[in-house]
Amino acid sequence: MHGNLYRIFFTGVFLIMSVTVSHAFELKSQYVTIIYENEDLLRKFNREVSLGSLSYLARNKKSLTVADEVRNKVDTIVERVESILDMFPLNLKFKIVLLFNDTDVNKVFMNKYGRNPDYISFYAPSDKTVYISVADIRLGVLAHELAHVIIDHYFVNPPPEKIHEVLAQFVETHLSD
């Protein structure tokens, strides 16, 4: 009996460990710790997340390296999302985990919540972390997830899930206004 329980326990631990990201690198900014597996993944994230019409917001931030550029972009987007929502949570600190693709995102979601969705990104309030597919990233997707982060940090009692989603969609559609 105990042998079976141990076997089930260790199988579960192994599955959890195999689904999570091997956190090789961390990049810290004013608001976020970005966790990524390798430099190529960070460079691809940087290429895919273009500030476009929001570039003027980052004009006074120096970017000497890819890490500097990513740090500045993400902080700029966080500040833009706060402005759109008119929510400025104190001591905003969270994580972003860069994953290769939506399959990796869905594995993490399945591990955390026991459901298999079809997501390219999601925010997990329990660990204050955004999990995002670099293969599917774009500015609107990142801003949408950051809206969830800011809403979660702003309210003592978070609004219902549907309100959360409406506000995140509002951010996504008003990003360039």
Per-residue three-class SS string for 10-54? HHHHHHHHHHCCCCCEEEECCCEEEEECCHHHHHHHHHHCCCHHH
Reduced to 3 states (helix: H, G, I; strand: E, B; else coil), residue 137 is coil
What percent of the residues of the chain are helix, what percent strand, and what percent coil, each to the nearest 5?
60, 15, 30
What is the average pLDDT across 43-55?
83
Domain that holds residue 146: 23-173
- Number of domains within the chain: 1
Residue at 5 is within a domain: no
Tokens (6 digits) for 49: 């997340």
Reduced to 3 states (helix: H, G, I; strand: E, B; else coil), residue 148 is helix
Residue at 92 is within a domain: yes
What is the average pLDDT across 144-157?
97
In the predicted model, is pLDDT for residue 78 greater than 70?
yes
In the predicted model, is pLDDT for residue 157 greater than 50?
yes
What is the average pLDDT across 33-56?
87
User: DSSP letters along 64-98, please?
Assistant: SSHHHHHHHHHHHHHHHHHHHHT---TT--EEEEE
What is the average pLDDT across 20-24?
54
Residue at 158 is within a domain: yes
Adjacent-strand bridge partners of 124: 129
For 80-120, the pLDDT digits (tens) are: 999 999 999 999 999 999 999 999 999 999 999 999 999 99
pTM: 0.83
Residue at 14 is within a domain: no
Q: How remote is the C-alpha of 93 from its chain's centroid?
A: 12
**Within 13 A of 47's CA, how many CA atoms are on the CB side?**
9
- At residue 153, the pLDDT reads 96
Residue at 3 is within a domain: no
Q: What is the CATH number of the domain that holds 30?
A: 3.40.390
- At residue 109, the pLDDT reads 97
- H/E stretch holding 130 reads strand 129-133
Residue at 11 is within a domain: no
Average pLDDT of the chain, as a whole number: 86
Q: What value does the CA radius of gyration of the chain take, rounded to a whole number of Å? A: 17
Residue at 18 is within a domain: no
In the predicted model, is pLDDT for residue 173 greater than 70?
yes
Indicate the range of 30-34, 100-104, 171-175 predicted with least confidence: 171-175
